[in-house]
Amino acid sequence: MSPATDRSRHRVGPLASTAREAPMLDVDALLDDPETRIIVCCGSGGVGKTTTSAALALRAAERGRHVVVLTIDPARRLAQSMGIEQLDNTPRPVPDLTWPKGTRKRPTKAPRMDAMMLDMKRTFDEVVESQANPEKAQQILENPFYVALSSSFAGTQEYMAMEKLGQIYRDAERDGTYDLIVVDTPPSRSALDFLDAPERLSSFLDGRFIKLLLAPARGPARMMTMGLQLFTSALTKILGAQVLQDLQTFVAAVDTLFGGFRQRAQQTYQLLQTGGTAFLVIAAPEPDALREAAYFVERLDEDQMPLAGLVVNRATATSPEDLDAEEALAAAARLERKKSRTVTPGLLRLHADRMRLAEREARLRERFTAAHPEVPTVVVAALPTDVHDLDGLRQVGRLLAGS
């Protein structure tokens, strides 16, 4: 199951005929392509990444893929919409999957979809337990510095997201459990921080402070022993002997145990750069969200990550038959001059407001496309209600596919 190396193959759809017209993103082609092994949904907060991730995973599963969706967003709506009582670090099967309506030829594989939510501390604990003997692992798990790091240290979530993604992918390669992994990411620009996890971890392990705490008192370091003793003596006065001992124990454990994690994180980073991975940038038709989307697109290009396209969620729906804003306002004015006592003039003015909003959203999308004309785009109309079940996710999936 080696991923393809052609990063351009996900850029599907016709070429733009004008500078303002983006190429269309063919979501079903992306989901049906057996070479697509990982889909990463990223974007700013509140744009519907979690719902989009779940809808993509569900549509892929019901088209014959074996899918797992991993969310590292703390929102719990994903579990509720898929009929799962609680999401945790263990994949849970999604019940009641069906074949898509109107499917002429059913896939050979039955629908299968699992869902899980990253448990940052549990994933960190699993790394420790897999790399150390039971006695050593227990020492580390009870170390106060480890407890603080694994629970709330800045960047730990991104490190563990890389670890869990790599873990799922390796298990799927070995056992054939999944042929597609859909990843939901944290909100805002931190959604791409997991791309920096290997470098940040390397900087931490290679830092001067860490090397001082690990420096031996004999051998080549004998000449610096006196200076090290002064350094540790000063730290002891500030922190206390037990705190310093706990810190040194933790640092030694990190150095010996998590070198393997650093290597695995780098391997996962390389995996994300292959053609088997597709990044989808999720946005709303709003200035701030589309600015963030532009940042994501540029950052992905800088890191040579394969961008599949842009999803613009919650757009104002219109049709070619709709009156435009000026026509609706003119019709309302004519009825008011005739002293019409119906509700029609008010409805026409509401329609005009809606059309103006749609025109504003279209201008924002055109501005994005003018700056990034090569990015395939799909526009998903806003739903009248929140998504709270599988049928709602199926409806989102159909909209993503342009149906």
pLDDT of residue 100: 59
Percent of the chain with pLDDT over 90: 38
Confidence of residue 251 (pLDDT cuts 50, 70, 90): low
The DSSP result for 79-143, as a single string, is HHHTT-S---SS-EEPP---PPTT-SS--SSPPEEEEEE--HHHHHHHHHHHHS-HHHHHHHHH-
What is the pLDDT averaged over residues 95-114? 72
Contacts of 98 (CB under 8 A, 6+ apart): 62, 111
Q: Which range among 176-180, 252-256, 342-346 shows the weakest confidence by mean pLDDT? A: 252-256
pLDDT of residue 172: 95
pLDDT of residue 194: 72
Distance (Å, rounded) from C-alpha 21 to C-alpha 263? 42
Average of per-residue pLDDT values in the chain: 79
As to burial, measured by CB atoms within 10 angstroms (0-12 exposed, 13-18 middle, 19+ buried), residue 209 is exposed
What is the pLDDT averaged over residues 277-285? 97
Confidence of residue 364 (pLDDT cuts 50, 70, 90): very high
pLDDT of residue 247: 62
- How much is the pTM? 0.80
Q: Does domain 7-207+264-321+366-400 have CATH number 3.40.50.300?
A: yes
Percent of the chain with pLDDT over 70: 71
Domain segments of the chain: what residues? 7-207+264-321+366-400, 325-358
Helix (H), strand (E) counts: the chain: 16, 8
pLDDT tens by residue, 122-132: 888 888 888 78
What is the pLDDT averaged over residues 115-123? 86
pLDDT tens by residue, 215-239: 544 344 444 444 444 444 544 444 4
pLDDT tens by residue, 175-212: 999 999 999 987 766 667 777 766 666 666 555 545 55
What is the pLDDT averaged over residues 74-89? 75
pLDDT tens by residue, 266-280: 888 899 999 999 999
